[in-house]
Amino acid sequence: MERTFIAIKPDGVQRGLIAEIVSRFERKGFKLVAIKLVVPSKDFAQKHYHDLKERPFFSGLCDFLSSGPVLAMVWEGEGVIKYGRKLIGATDPQKSEPGTIRGDLAVVVGRNIIHGSDGPETAEDEINLWFKPEELVSYTSNAEKWVYGQN
Ligand code: GTP
Ligand code: MG
């Protein structure tokens, strides 16, 4: 089943939005398979955002990601990569629709509270960067037969 990497950045953690954000993924019907609170080093943040290294905000972004606790998670479900991005909303919260996480809970692009993988390859790379294989928990959730139906 498809998996994606989702992280609540230091602003989301500091603002007490963990439960609110986790709950949106849970209520949708996606399954949590890994979760941990970590303070990434700047070097680690640079690895995570390596594809943005030419952008002018890269250094500030990496300083920010490594400035405090980040809630790193892996979520599983049909279409979770693309739909996870939909739940999150546009990068700039000024452009995110109401009803999305950034639309409802953030105001500026530099403090948009959450990260989500943008495709299957980045999802795999980011999961491997942030988690060891044994930190991913495979289990059957009782909700699955109700979320997906029985064939
Ligand atoms: P992530 O899920 O965090 O990867 O966001 P995204 O995929 O919607 O956007 P992108 O990967 O292009 O940018 C990564 C992060 O860099 C964003 O979430 C923002 O926090 C930050 N960022 C992007 N564009 C800007 C910008 O123009 N200015 C500033 N200050 N930060 C930006
Ligand atoms: Mg991105």
Nearest CA to ligand 1 atom 30: 110
Predicted complex ipTM? 0.95
Q: How far apart are CA 34 and CA 37, in angstroms?
A: 11
The number of the ligand nearest the C-alpha atom of 84 reads 1
Average pLDDT over residues 62-67: 98
| Confidence band, pLDDT 50/70/90 cuts, at residue 67 | very high
Instruction: For ligand 1, pick from 109, 111, 114, 130 the residue to mutate: most ligand atoms within 8 Å of CB.
Output: 109
Model-level pTM?
Answer: 0.96
How far CA 99 is from CA of 12, 88, 136, 139, in Å, comes to: 17, 9, 29, 30
How far CA 38 is from CA of 10, 76, 82, 86, 103, in Å, comes to: 10, 21, 25, 25, 25
49: left (phi over 0), alpha (psi -120 to 50) or beta: alpha
Identify the residues whose C-beta falls under 6 Å from ligand 1: 52, 57, 61, 91, 109-110, 112, 115-116, 118
5, 130 contact by CB (below 8 A): yes
Q: Which amino acid is at 126?
A: E
Distance 129 CA to ligand 1 centre (A): 19
43-54: per-residue pLDDT in tens?
Answer: 999 999 999 999
Whether residue 115 lies in the annotated active site: yes
Residues forming beta bridges with residue 146, ordered by sequence position: none
Tell me if residue 70 falls in helix, strand or coil. strand
Tell me if residue 46 falls in helix, strand or coil. helix
